[in-house]
Amino acid sequence: MDGLELRDVRKSYGDTLVLESISLAMEPCEFVAFLGPSGSGKSTLLRIIAGLETADSGEVLLDGRRIDGLAPGDRDVAMVFQHYALYPHMTVWDNMAFGLRNAGVPRDDINGRIMQAAAVLEIEPLLERKPGQLSGGQRQRVAIGRAIVKQPKLFLLDEPLSNLDAALRNRTRVELAQLRRRVEAGVIMVTHDQAEAMTLADRMIVMNDRRIQQIGTPMEIYSRPANTFVAGFVGSPAIALLPARLAGGGQCARVSLGGGAEVETRVPVSALPEGAEVRLGVRPENVRVVAPGAGTVAAEAILVERLGERTLVYARLADGQELTAVDEGSSALKIGDPVALAIDGAAAHIFGPDGTGYHAVAPR
């Protein structure tokens, strides 16, 4: 098939297993994000694709051609490093031209590629400057430009925004989203920032513990997490995972929380393990602060976060479990106040003893 394909890639450093049986496929012009915590293996996997690391076993193919035995410069990929890796004594122009000169690209072709990339990235006025004369955001654009001029089939971005301050990171995120529409190539971005992944990626590959935990579109992963790790890692504020017991029900499961409250879900009973203790997963937007009454859950506010248009209420239930709820922006709640919470069971998830996620039947 066209695009990138990994087949059963494994990697160890001595006795330490880093990647275990990684297989995936991506389309030629797809934007994919490797998302996971530090130590999950995502950067090692990126470096194996680039040729900067060697897998112990497995295959890496690009457009149907095996590239895992090729030198990095022969793989038709371009990598943008976290720390830019620009030559400080060279101008922006020379930094962008360096790889092309080494590859024997004709001078006129080099000039054309650099001017085209500079126009796309809006760095034409910077071409005669040296990296020390540039801001962090400008250096990041130059690093991306140096990759663009190679005209690769695949761009590899290793934490490209992590060295930028918050405001510049948000602006550069927008620029990356616009850039990928102008460049006909696939993109893989390694990040631990879920906002970057969900904003930019066509699909996310969530990694942890040396393995791929889930592959899907951002909203597939957010709304139907494969397990408790994915559920807890994707989403801010984090999902609440509350110990619960199955309390019967008809076709859909009803669960009982530690304080005695019951929540009616839309998760099919037939899909769940029998008689097991489970965890109920509820995201903040599915828990509302309401007036006390039937069907509500009693709690205490332990933190009130005012965000203007809404208020996040971090609450503790009677059994000591904690969850986050949403209240109006004008909420008068204070720390220590009693609160009544209404949980939208239709949007809730159930996680089995092994962490596997079970979800409401998808609407047709």
Question: Residue 165's pLDDT is what?
Answer: 64
What is the tens place of the pLDDT at every residue in 124-135? 999 999 989 988
Question: Residue 228's pLDDT is what?
Answer: 97
User: Do both 73 and 149 map to the same domain?
Assistant: yes
User: Do both 305 and 229 map to the same domain?
Assistant: no
- 212 CB neighbour count, 10 Å cutoff: 23
User: Do both 204 and 286 map to the same domain?
Assistant: no
Torsion of CA 311, 312, 314, 317, to 10 degrees: 80
Over 80: is that where the pLDDT of 113 sits? yes
Residue 364 lies in a domain: no
User: Do both 68 and 146 map to the same domain?
Assistant: yes
Bridge-based pairing state of the strands 262-268 and 252-257: antiparallel
Amino acid at 219: M
What is the tens place of the pLDDT at every residue in 252-272? 999 999 878 889 999 998 888
Residue 71 lies in a domain: yes
- Output the six-digit token pair for 314: 């971090």
Over 60: is that where the pLDDT of 1 sits? no
Residue 363 lies in a domain: no
User: Do both 169 and 253 map to the same domain?
Assistant: no
Question: Residue 286's pLDDT is what?
Answer: 96
Torsion of CA 200, 203, 208, 213, to 10 degrees: 160
Per-residue pLDDT, averaged over 3-12, amounts to 95
Query: Which residues have C-beta within 8 Å of that of residue 78, sequence separation ≥ 6?
Result: 146, 147, 148, 150, 152, 154, 155, 156
Residue 206 lies in a domain: yes
User: Do both 138 and 12 map to the same domain?
Assistant: yes
Question: Residue 164's pLDDT is what?
Answer: 65
Residue 266 lies in a domain: yes
* C-alpha span between 89 and 52 (Å, rounded): 24
Question: Which residue has 């935990």 as its token pair?
Answer: 213
User: Do both 304 and 332 map to the same domain?
Assistant: yes
Domain boundary among 209, 233, 257: 233
* C-alpha span between 270 and 250 (Å, rounded): 10
Residue 158 lies in a domain: yes
What is the tens place of the pLDDT at every residue in 70-106? 999 889 998 888 777 888 999 999 999 998 888 888 9
User: Do both 170 and 276 map to the same domain?
Assistant: no
Quote the domain boundaries for residue 248: 240-358
Q: What is the pTM of this model?
A: 0.87
User: Do both 181 and 221 map to the same domain?
Assistant: yes
Number of domain units in the chain: 2
User: Do both 350 and 304 map to the same domain?
Assistant: yes
Residue 193 lies in a domain: yes
CATH number at residue 342: 2.40.50.140
Q: What is the mean pLDDT of the chain?
A: 89
- 7 CB neighbour count, 10 Å cutoff: 16
CATH number at residue 14: 3.40.50.300
What is the tens place of the pLDDT at every residue in 160-199? 776 666 666 677 777 777 777 777 889 999 988 888 899 8
Per-residue pLDDT, averaged over 297-308, amounts to 94
What is the tens place of the pLDDT at every residue in 18-77? 999 999 999 988 999 999 998 899 999 999 999 999 999 999 999 999 999 999 988 999
Over 80: is that where the pLDDT of 237 sits? yes
User: Do both 181 and 286 map to the same domain?
Assistant: no
Over 60: is that where the pLDDT of 200 sits? yes
Domain boundary among 171, 200, 233: 233
Domain boundary among 233, 268, 294: 233
Residue 132 lies in a domain: yes
User: Do both 259 and 137 map to the same domain?
Assistant: no
CB-side neighbour CA atoms (13 Å) of 363: 3
